[in-house]
Structure 1
Amino acid sequence: MLKLSSINTNIAGTPILRDVNLAIEPGVLVGLIGRNGAGKTTLMRTVMGLLTPESGSITIGGQDMTDLAPHFRSQAKVGYMPEDRQLVPTLTVEENILIPAWANALSGAEARLAWVYELMPEVEAFAGRKALQLSGGQQKLVALARALMTGSHILLLDEPFEGVAPALSRRLASVLHTLKDEGLTVLLSESDYSHSADLVDQIYTIERGAVAAQEGAVK
């Protein structure tokens, strides 16, 4: 479903990702574990086309996406939840969720939104509120809901549990369990295993931009 081959990514001339190889099969939830500054966000942004690798290839659903613009990821049904959420504070929750559908002229947006609300009814409960009125944990739920508008095949979740209160962390984990049961492919980054240990099928570790598969991590 997702394959990175010999990816090298620089930022402002500084090498960040170093010869990264990573492969995720359909329906698998994979953890990308590494401390802050290890390169997790750079890897996610490279997959999403927000950063261009110096070398290597990115394949999504069998299609080479290496040199394609970011919006082609939405067409490939990839959803992305950035670490800092990146909600538009003055828009309502529902408007934030619908932004990917509007930007990409997605068909079936209303049906997809109804499915998202069924999955996370608490998000529907504050759908009319401005994003700036929400707590950090609530904003994480909204960012996940927005990612799900396009991410019907693959989800990339960058530090979804960071800065979230325990109750909302448990709720996020519950939603991810449901998505996993429905066969969604997920790449989830985290600084350690504190929240993802019971979720992931496979683990990759990242250190100083180098990625390695952890032996014995597949359940």
Structure 2
Amino acid sequence: MFVYQAAKFVVEPLVKIVYRPRVEGLENIPTDGSAILAANHLSFSDSFFIPIVVPRHVTFIAKAEYFDAGGLRGLWNKYFYARFAGAVRVDRSGSRNATTAALEGAVAVLEGGGLFGIYPEGTRSPDGKLYRGRTGIAEIALRSGAPIIPIGIIGTDRVQPPGKKMPRLGRVTIRVGAPLDLSEAKSLGKPALVRRAITDEVIEAIQKLSGQEYRHVYASDVKEGKAAA
């Protein structure tokens, strides 16, 4: 936590001076206690801007490749995700054990009274549109009992477009919504229906905040289709 605070002390004022991020609805994030921050995912830099504007520490999920890469980039990734962001490592290869470990890591953060950040789409948008959510966020919410707070991020895809290593100058807007009332979704009874209803409600709330066009498919499937083509 000391490393996080020291890095935030240096990085936060620099980012705020250079990018002047606009923040709306920050009062919706509790000053203490657990909450799930659910955001759209336009750029690698999303994981920089959210911790910068949120006054409390936010723990994210990060794909295993970020921890396993070699060379200088691997060292930086390990520092940023493991020490600065305090990320929960997740293997996206489909292993049930890896998925379970990621869920348990997220629940542990929330049960400890922390903030957990997650991108319900599961991966970055390939084209700036908002995609169907993965139900892992619902599972985390149901297991932990933590409220879900939707966040709409605007402009990070222009600051650091997909595939670009160096960020550009640009304005970023982060809109924080009120905690979601999931009582109607939870009343559906069947676990699979509840998870899907919660996830769809989260994505709908994010779409209202971000203003993105919505596509009812998974972003990962679109990426795989483009790669195959």
Shorter-chain TM-score range: 0.3 to 0.5
**Whose strand fraction is larger, Structure 1's or Structure 2's?**
1
**Whose helix fraction is larger, Structure 1's or Structure 2's?**
2
What TM-score does the superposition give when structure 2 sets the normalisation length?
A: 0.38
What TM-score does the superposition give when structure 1 sets the normalisation length?
A: 0.40
